Chain A
Amino acid sequence: MGIDRREFLKIAGLSAMMGLGGKAAFDLLVPGEVEASLKDTPLTQAKRWGMVVDMDKMNDEIMDRCVEACHRIHNVPDWGDPKVEIKWIWKETYEHTFAGQGHDYQGEEFKERNFLILCNHCDNPACCRVCPTKATWKREKDGVVMMDPHRCIGCRFCMAACPFGARSFNWGDPRKAPEELNTQFPTNRDYPTRTKGVVEKCNLCAERIAKGQFPACVETANEILKDSLVFGDLEDPGSNVRKLLRSRYAIRRKPELGTGPNIYYVV
């Protein structure tokens, strides 16, 4: 038994109404729901995280403390040998930081200064382009250049590609690092270590910003001297980083390479 024309029209009309209502309800409900559930997750509040190092305020003591805090929180071992060292954030001289930008008549306070270096979380990261397993990739939501050690095969293409030397290779098991240099390793039992044969680097404290905390270095630096290290959303014109970048002259490392670093240095 089929349906007559009248029955068909009734069903069609009802379906159309349901469809419209369903769509409207979907549009009205879902965005709110998503926002509500993610309200305490600042990860969604930034489109592109960036950092500004204020070199007027930054000094060696703050830098050392930042490095110490980062490496302690992320269980970065100290191998005591620059050939196999692992570093997420470190100090570097002017010449090494801004290679080719110096000149003969530069003041010594500049030439002999140390700068705070970490992964630049580039807009167009060379490391991600070369990774054969997508173990490293640019997180579209907030611009963090992420690293998935589960997937890393240790080919070190990314280390060759990165123009900033921001990546380190685990030549040995981090838990076998010299004990006298790593008392009580792993230092943070809530964070994993890495294993032999994977590459690692700064993850912009993805695990901390997901919880609404600042990256470890930013937190540490600001505890010592407020605004020496500023962290915020570079896409938001009203953010603290954008305000600072508007009012002060800031440079980036090797911008001519076109990777678009997101770490700025106020000089």
Chain B
Amino acid sequence: MYDGWKIIPGLIIFLILLLFPLWNQAFHPGKAGITPNPELTETAKNAEKCIEPKPFMKTQHMKMLDEWRNEVVRDAERYYKSSEGKEYYKSLQITCLECHSNKSKFCDQCHNYMGVDPFCWDCHIEPKENE
């Protein structure tokens, strides 16, 4: 091989750089792959359950909020009957944020992890957080 003394070290350096995530992970076990950790406020903990079961809220809250906004604004239907038969006022700002008043530690945790940027907060007012 011509210029083997250049090519082989070059390839090795290239591989070391390419595999950076792997060997970096090996040196710092458990540090990589930070998973979102939404925190509940005291109010939310005391309430024990959200308006619907947790798995449903986890996967469907965005659809629910989307339905709510249409029903409230367009059809003037302002009350939500949960699967348990309890009634709630359909409002992100008033109902949801009453318990989940820690946006940065609750909403943003998963939203940032997933790289989603919901435009709710362009208009709807974020809760004031006591840091």
- Chain A contacts to B: CB under 8 angstroms: 43, 137, 139, 141, 146, 148-150, 173, 186, 189-195, 206, 210
B73 touches A148 (CB 8 A): yes
B131 within 8 A of A: no
Set A189, A193, A195, A206: member contacting B76, Cβ < 8 A: A206
Contacts of B48 in A (CB 8 A): none
| A195 contacts B123, C-beta separation under 8 Å | yes
Scoring B74, B94, B124 by chain A CB atoms within 10 A of each residue's CB, the highest score goes to B74
Contact A150 B93 (CB under 8 A): no
Please indicate the chain A residues that have their CB under 8 angstroms from the CB of B123 in the complex.
Answer: 149, 192-195
Closest to B92 in A: A192
Interface SS majority for chain B: helix
Some 20 contacts from A to B, beta carbons below 8 A apart, are A137-B74, A139-B76, A141-B76, A146-B73, A146-B74, A148-B74, A149-B123, A150-B70, A150-B73, A173-B122, A189-B125, A191-B93, A192-B123, A192-B124, A193-B123, A193-B125, A194-B123, A195-B119, A206-B76, A210-B78
B69 is an interface residue with CB less than 8 A from chain A? yes
Contacts of A141 in B (CB 8 A): 76
Closest to B123 in A: A192
Chain B contact residues, CB within 8 Å of chain A: 69-70, 73-74, 76, 78, 93-94, 119, 122-125, 128
In the complex, what distance in Å separates the CA atom of A175 from the CA atom of B80? Answer: 30
Bound Cα distance from A146 to B73, whole angstroms: 8
**10 A-B pairs closest in CB distance:** A195-B122, A192-B123, A192-B124, A148-B73, A195-B123, A189-B125, A186-B125, A193-B123, A210-B78, A190-B94
A34, B72: Cα distance in complex, Å: 18
B69 closest partner in A (C-beta): A150
- In Å, the complex CA distance between A193 and B123 comes to 5
Q: How far is the CA of A192 from the CA of B96 in the complex (A)?
A: 14
Q: Hey, which chain B residues are within 8 Å of A210, CB to CB?
A: 76, 78
A141-B76, A150-B69, A190-B94 given; 7 more Cβ-contact pairs under 8 Å: A189-B93, A191-B93, A192-B123, A192-B125, A194-B123, A195-B122, A206-B76
Give chain B residues whose Cβ lies under 8 Å from the Cβ of A191: 93
Query: Shortest beta-carbon distance, B125 to chain A, in Å?
Result: 5
Contacts of A139 in B (CB 8 A): 76
**Nearest CB of chain B from residue A187's CB, rounded to whole Å:** 10
Q: How far does the alpha carbon of A149 sit from the alpha carbon of B78 in the complex, in Å?
A: 17
Residues on B with beta carbons closer than 8 Å to the beta carbon of A148? 73-74
**Are A190 and B73 in touch, CB under 8 angstroms?**
no
Which residues of chain B come closer than 8 Å to A192, judged between CB atoms?
Answer: 93, 123-125
A190 to B74, CA, bound (A): 19
A210 to B119, CA, bound (A): 26
Look across to chain A and name the residue whose beta carbon is closest to the beta carbon of B79: A37
Q: How far does the alpha carbon of A139 sit from the alpha carbon of B119 in the complex, in Å?
A: 26
Chain B proximity of A88: nearest CB distance (Å): 16
